[in-house]
């Protein structure tokens, strides 16, 4: 227990320090840090409740990753270097394995680290909002909401890879924005940041195979539009680098990891496991069998309120059912409001926001078309677009622009 407490205190202190460093020049930052700490504590409490109730019994990915990580820790201790490790399922297990090898096997600690990463995601989401010139208040509200979304707490508390996926998505977009906005940076720093984006794309691809296409494609759209708008050569170089790197990943990492794609009901009645063509044809068959409109509906709106009590993991838990239902209602509300934010991004012709939108749309479409048609799966996979989606949940800016236009002001592309 002492070990657990030490981990929790260390991570809480780290969260406070990172928050202070990241937002040092912002007023009233203390409240935001307090909320972040609170979100972290909620996750810690949830981890204790979850493990005491025997999450293994109800079944999650977390357990199996923990077991693989234990094996990786054993390999590391026996002297096998990191690049020669044998691991299954996902690269995330290597990360946990390294933690186990250094600090000893402790699933609580691995879950605490995941919770901390989730808080970092909230920080960087806030930082993006601030860099996009959203008001301080709105930016901090976006970050706080993200950290307190109930399903986010669930997905990011266990030893699952979700926390890391969400973090990588937000971090990639944060760095991309930093590359473009920080004009005073030296060339070496810019090269390092661009290389960092490429490495993060690679890691995301290792975690979820189709992230390569969604992130690279969206970055491509952002950078091309940005170049068209500003004619900055840096954007073109960045865009070209991402494109070339993605092509390399497509023929290396993607090919090697194709068969491990999660949540895709592939046909394995024939011995096609090692055959890429079989895998691809299986994916296309799955897509062709789907009702596109229905699938998009399901991805964006499931679990519908009626489905909630039937989600296996929360069935018969009234509190959990009420929380999920409330979250779903808020999500629907957020979706409707974000339509205005999306239109505003278009009329402002903001390349960055259009790029993020491209990521949301492509990620949504891929998941709607290839994921299994199960509310729980849609619910979990949709979580990756919640953070970027929050950047659009604003009706005011659009309303004010339209009101001004109707009242007689002419529209221009000045800013």
Partner 1 sequence: MKNKLVKILAVIAVPVIIIFSMTVFGFAQPQHGYQISDYDVSVKIADNGDLNVTEKVKYSFLGNSNNAVILIDKRDGEKIEIKKVFTLVKDKLIECEQLSAGQWDANVFNGTYSVLQETNLVRLKVYSSFKKQQGTVIVHYIVKNSVKRYRDIALFDRTFILENWNGHASNIDIEIKLPRYTDAANIKPYLHGVLVGQKDVTDGRTIKYSIPDTVPGEYVEARVVFPEDLIKNAQITSFKNYMRTILEEEKEYSESDKSHLLKARENAAKEAGKRAWNEKMTQKRKLFLTIVSIFTSIASLLILRRGYKELQINQETESFELKDIPKLTPQEAYFLLSGKVGARGILAGLFSLASKGFIEPAFITEEDISGISFRLSENQSAENLEESERYLLQLVKEYSDESGEFAVIKNFAGNLAAEEEIFRENYLTFADKVQCEHSANNKLTINQLYYRNLGLILGVVLFIAGCIISVAFSVLSGYVMLPVGFFVFWYSLNIQRKTPYSIKRIKSLMELKELICTSDRKDKSFPYWMNDANRLIGYSIAIRAENKLHLIEKTLLDKDINIIEKTLKKTLAVLNDSLTVILDN
Contact between 10 and partner 1 by CB under 8 A: the answer reads no
Smallest separation, CB 67 to partner 1 (Å): 9
288 scored as a contact of partner 1 (CB under 8 A): no
Compute how many residues bind partner 1; rule: CB under 8 A.
62
Binding-site member from 77, 181, 255, 396 for partner 1 (CB under 8 A): 181
Q: Could you say which residues in the range 353-372 bind partner 1, by CB under 8 A? A: 372
Per CB under 8 A, 374 contacts partner 1: yes
Nearer to partner 1, 148 or 332 (CB): 332
Told to check if 414 binds partner 1 by CB under 8 A, we report yes
Can residue 58 be called a binding residue for partner 1 (CB under 8 A)?
Answer: yes
> What is the distance between the alpha carbons of residues 174 and 22, in angstroms, rounded to a whole number?
12
Residue 201 CA to residue 364 CA, distance in Å, equals 18
269 lines the binding site for partner 1 (CB under 8 A): yes
* Identity of the residue, 142 or 180, whose beta carbon is nearer to partner 1 in the bound complex: 180
Convert residues 225-244 into a mask of x (bound to partner 1 by CB under 8 A) and - (unbound). -----xxx------------
Does residue 316 bind partner 1 (CB under 8 A)?
Answer: no
Query: Is residue 86 within the footprint of partner 1 (CB under 8 A)?
Result: no
> Distance between CA 135 and CA 45 in Å, rounded?
32
Residue 55 CA to residue 42 CA, distance in Å, equals 17
Answer for which of 26, 262, 325, 348 binds partner 1 (CB under 8 A) is: 262
CA dist 368 and 189 (Å) reads 38
Nearer to partner 1, 18 or 264 (CB): 264
**Which listed residue (172, 266, 369, 390) binds partner 1 by CB under 8 A?**
266
Separation CA 128–CA 322 (nearest Å): 32
Q: Which is nearer to partner 1, 24 or 78 (CB)?
A: 24
| Residue closer to partner 1, measured from CB, 86 or 231 | 231
Q: Return the range that interacts with partner 1 (CB under 8 A); candidates 107-115, 247-255, 305-313, 381-389.
A: 305-313
Which lies closer to partner 1 via its Cβ, residue 138 or residue 380? Answer: 380
Out of 310, 317, 400, 404, the residue judged to bind partner 1 by CB under 8 A: 310
Residues 23 and 17: their CA atoms lie apart, in Å, by 10
Sign (positive or negative) of CA dihedral 15, 16, 17, 21: positive
Which of 16, 105, 191, 296 binds partner 1 (CB under 8 A)? It is 296
Which of 82, 346, 396, 400 touches partner 1 (CB under 8 A)? 346
* 326 counts as binding partner 1 under rule CB under 8 A: no
| Residues of this chain that bind partner 1 (CB under 8 A) | 56-61, 63-64, 89, 180-181, 183, 230-232, 260-262, 264-269, 289, 291-294, 296-297, 300-301, 304, 306-307, 310, 312, 329, 332, 335-336, 339-340, 343, 346-347, 372-377, 402, 405-406, 410-415
């Amino acid at each position: 227990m002492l070990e657990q407490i030490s981990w929790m205190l260390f991570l809480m202190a780290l969260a406070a320090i990172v928050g202070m460093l990241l937002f040092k020049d912002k007023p009233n930052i203390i409240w935001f840090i307090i909320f972040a700490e609170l979100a972290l504590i909620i996750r810690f409490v949830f981890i204790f409740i979850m493990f005491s109730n025997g999450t293994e019994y109800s079944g999650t990915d977390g357990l199996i990753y923990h077991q693989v990580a234990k094996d990786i820790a054993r390999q590391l201790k026996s002297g096998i270097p990191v690049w020669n490790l044998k691991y299954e399922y996902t690269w995330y297990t290597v990360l946990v394995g390294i933690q186990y090898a250094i600090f000893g096997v402790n699933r609580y600690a691995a879950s605490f680290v995941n919770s901390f990463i989730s808080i970092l995601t909230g920080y960087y989401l806030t930082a993006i909002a601030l860099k996009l010139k959203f008001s301080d208040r709105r930016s901090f509200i976006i970050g706080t909401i993200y950290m307190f979304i109930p399903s986010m707490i669930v997905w990011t508390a266990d030893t699952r890879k979700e926390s890391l996926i969400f973090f990588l998505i937000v971090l990639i977009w944060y760095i991309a924005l930093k590359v473009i906005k920080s004009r005073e940076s030296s060339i070496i720093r810019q090269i390092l940041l661009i290389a960092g984006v490429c490495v993060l794309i690679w890691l995301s691809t290792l975690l979820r195979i189709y992230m390569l296409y969604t992130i690279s494609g969206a970055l491509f759209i952002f950078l091309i539009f940005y170049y068209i708008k500003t004619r900055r050569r840096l954007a073109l170089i960045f865009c070209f680098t991402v494109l070339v790197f993605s092509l390399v990943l497509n023929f290396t990492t993607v090919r090697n990891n194709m068969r491990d794609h999660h949540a895709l009901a592939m046909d394995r009645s024939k011995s096609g496991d090692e055959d890429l063509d079989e895998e691809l044809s299986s994916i296309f068959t799955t897509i062709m069998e789907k009702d596109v409109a229905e699938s998009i509906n399901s991805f964006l709106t499931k679990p519908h309120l009626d489905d909630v009590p039937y989600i296996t993991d929360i069935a018969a838990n009234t509190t959990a059912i009420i929380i999920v239902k409330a979250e779903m209602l808020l999500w629907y509300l957020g979706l409707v409001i974000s339509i205005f934010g999306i239109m505003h991004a278009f009329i402002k012709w903001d390349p960055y926001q259009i790029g993020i939108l491209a990521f949301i749309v492509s990620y949504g479409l891929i998941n709607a078309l290839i994921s299994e048609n199960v509310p729980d799966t849609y619910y979990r996979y949709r979580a990756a677009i919640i953070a970027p989606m929050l950047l659009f949940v604003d009706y005011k800016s659009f309303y004010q622009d339209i009101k001004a236009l109707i009242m007689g002001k002419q529209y221009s592309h000045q800013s």
